Amino acid sequence: MKNLIVIGHPDKNSFCYNGILKTIKNEMEIRNEEFEVIDLYRDKFTRPRDKVIKKYQDLVTWTDRIYIISPVWWFRLTPRMEIFFDEVFTPGFAYQFINITKTYAYPKPFLKNKKLRTYVTHGAPALPVLTLYVNSVKLRLVMGVYSFVFGWKLSLFTKTRQFWSVPFVSEKKRKKYLKTVINDLKRDLGPIPKKQEKILSVEA
């Protein structure tokens, strides 16, 4: 299967970039998986950006599976990730409103056949976000963005991971987060081929 990774963090030393993205790429490389990376903070993103948006839409059309990686800033994803949603997942390409009555329409998703995983990192701990703020980041992302373009799927909730207090947790905790990513990739991509396992054991 073809894979597309969309990274929305400006700092190459961040956990999103140097941890999650690096881990996903590594898991794909050792399995010889086909993948492309959209690096939103390294691509030329100033207006006019028609060419880069067309390139992104072509990659979304090409891929079978999409991985979204972003920190949470002000209870949303990063500005360029939000622009990605706004300008790539456009009506006519990713969804279309279908009228039921003169005053009501529903979004018909055009990307229902795409598989999706999302990893978002928080500076905040889980408790206040999940209770006081009623898990608003995940709810808004899944119900306000993904359901429009990928359709209503339970997997959109279960495959949207949130990692908490990332700047403040121990290295052991970060490794645990990355172990979660590795286990997700095993489910998505299957086990490492035995031939490749032998090569890795020799290199180790």
All domains of the chain in start order, with CATH: 2-203 (3.40.50.360)
Query: Could you tell me which residue, 200 or 89, shows the higher pLDDT?
Result: 89
The secondary structure of residue 192, as a DSSP letter, is: P
Q: What is the pTM of this model?
A: 0.94
CA 44, distance to chain mean position in Å, is: 20
Question: What is the predicted pLDDT for the residue at 44?
Answer: 85
pLDDT, tens digit (0-9, with 9 covering 90-100), for 93-128: 999 999 999 899 999 999 999 999 999 999 999 999
The pLDDT, as a whole number, for residue 80 is: 96
pLDDT of residue 54: 97
pLDDT of residue 196: 66
pLDDT score recorded for residue 58: 98
**What whole-number distance in Å separates Cα of residue 68 and Cα of residue 20?**
10
pLDDT for 194 equals 73
User: Mapping DSSP to helix (H, G, I), strand (E, B) and coil, where does residue 119 land?
Assistant: strand
Q: Is the pLDDT of residue 42 over 80?
A: yes
pLDDT in tens, 187-202: 999 998 876 665 555 5
Cα 116 from Cα 125, distance rounded (Å): 25
* pLDDT at residue 45, rounded to an integer: 84
